A and B are shown apart, each in its own frame.
Chain A
Amino acid sequence: MRKSLEKYYRIDKLPHIWCPGCGHGIITGAVVRAIDNLKLDKDKICIVSGIGCSSRAPGYLNFNTLHTTHGRALAFATGIKLARPDLKVIVLTGDGDCTAIGGNHFIHACRRNIDITTVVFNNSIYGMTSGQYSPMTPLGAYATTAPYGNIDRNFDLCKLAQASGATYVARGTVYHVPQLIKIIEKALQHKGFSVVETLSICPTYFGRKNKLGSPVKMMEMLRDNSITVKAAEKMPREEMVNKIVIGEFFEENAPEYTEEYMKIIQRAQGEE
């Protein structure tokens, strides 16, 4: 590891437990580099996670960190942000954690536009519990619990976030890391609820169940199937099947929750 980045990691906890070729290490590295590029004070950052492979990440990161219950990372993060609005709160969560067990917390955090940055590690499957399908498992894909193929349609997480009221929404992949770092930087600088969906790779469960081959093959799939938001706008619908649209989808300024909450307190105390 680069010496200048060592201060952001709990070196004694490394190497991490993620499988060979797991994309989660790449996303964790991108989050660290985004924080380093922005020169944020690491003691003013709190990283929160739920349960799952992705949620192991804060255990390796040398910030204020909180490893919480399944799906509840955003609920804990909301509490932290309201108690300490001066902290930069980052939630690292997985696709199952965020969209299934924590689905309700997710849409309501979006709706409130609370100043939290959420990075979703989307590997399309529950990796830690050996490969059950999640709400992000694509239609027709195989999983331990879908031996004949998944008949549930998956969420489009970015559309869900935008419709729910998130004010910064973007998608990246673990292949396009320089772009991913820039997106996370923008999300961290955004005032309000920001969502970065990152397509990760799970060679051990999703890859094996779907016969996708090595981590390298899975990275090639991300490379070959990704198109930018601009290119997607011009593309006919029938060509869009199985394409991954990456880039920034949405950005707007809206009243932020903790600020609005402080105003209410002031009003209640007659300080208007």
Chain B
Amino acid sequence: MSEKNFEIKINEKACKRCGICIAFCPKKVFSSENDKPVVVNPDACTKCKLCEIRCPDFAIVVGGDDDDDK
């Protein structure tokens, strides 16, 4: 799934390190680095966007900004 335009963006300024994205990603795409989420397994991402809609701080965007939000 590493086509162009596809990326998982984490806004580090907005992230409060609650760990919800890391814990509940069904494909274990994120890993914790000093409680900070980092994308370690982007190829496993199915773009379900559960991390994006569960992020309390609107800090994650999956699939590039021009991606259709569906």
Nearest B residue to A11 by beta-carbon distance?
Answer: B58
Is A3 on the interface with B (CB-CB < 8 A)?
Answer: yes
Q: Tally inter-chain residue pairs, CB-CB below 8 A.
A: 78
A contact face: mostly helix, strand, loop, or mixed: helix
Flag if A2 contacts B20 (CB, 8 Å). Answer: no
A141 within 8 A of B: no
Binds B, one of A98-106, A164-172, A173-181: A173-181
Which interface class (under 10, 10 to 19, 20 to 34, 35 or more) fits A? 20 to 34
B40 on interface, CB distance cutoff 8 Å? no
| B65→A2 contact, CB < 8 A | yes
A189-201 vs B, Cβ < 8 Å mask (1 yes, 0 no): 0000000000000
Whether a CB of chain A sits under 8 angstroms from the CB of B27 is no
| B58-A25 in contact (CB<8A) | yes
Q: A5-B69, A21-B18 are known contacts. Are A216 and B23 too (CB-CB below 8 A)? A: yes
Contacts of B4 in A (CB 8 A): none
Tell whether, in the assembled complex, residue B14 and residue A14 are in contact, meaning their CB atoms are under 8 Å apart.
yes
Contact indicator B19/A24 (Cβ below 8 Å): no
Contacting pair B19 A9 (CB below 8 A) = no
CB under 8 Å from chain B, chain A span 201-246: 203, 214-216, 219-220
A85 partner residues in chain B, CB cutoff 8 A: none
Contact (A25, B19) CB under 8 Å given A1-B11, A3-B65, A219-B24: no
Q: Is A15 an interface residue (CB 8 A)?
A: yes
- Indicate whether B56 reaches chain A with its CB closer than 8 angstroms: yes
Look across to chain A and name the residue whose beta carbon is closest to the beta carbon of B11: A1
- The answer, yes or no, to whether A84 is at the interface (CB within 8 Å) is no
**21 residue pairs from A and B, CB less than 8 Å apart:** A1-B59, A4-B65, A9-B58, A16-B57, A19-B16, A20-B17, A20-B18, A21-B18, A22-B56, A26-B54, A177-B50, A177-B53, A178-B50, A178-B53, A203-B18, A214-B19, A215-B19, A216-B19, A216-B22, A216-B24, A219-B20
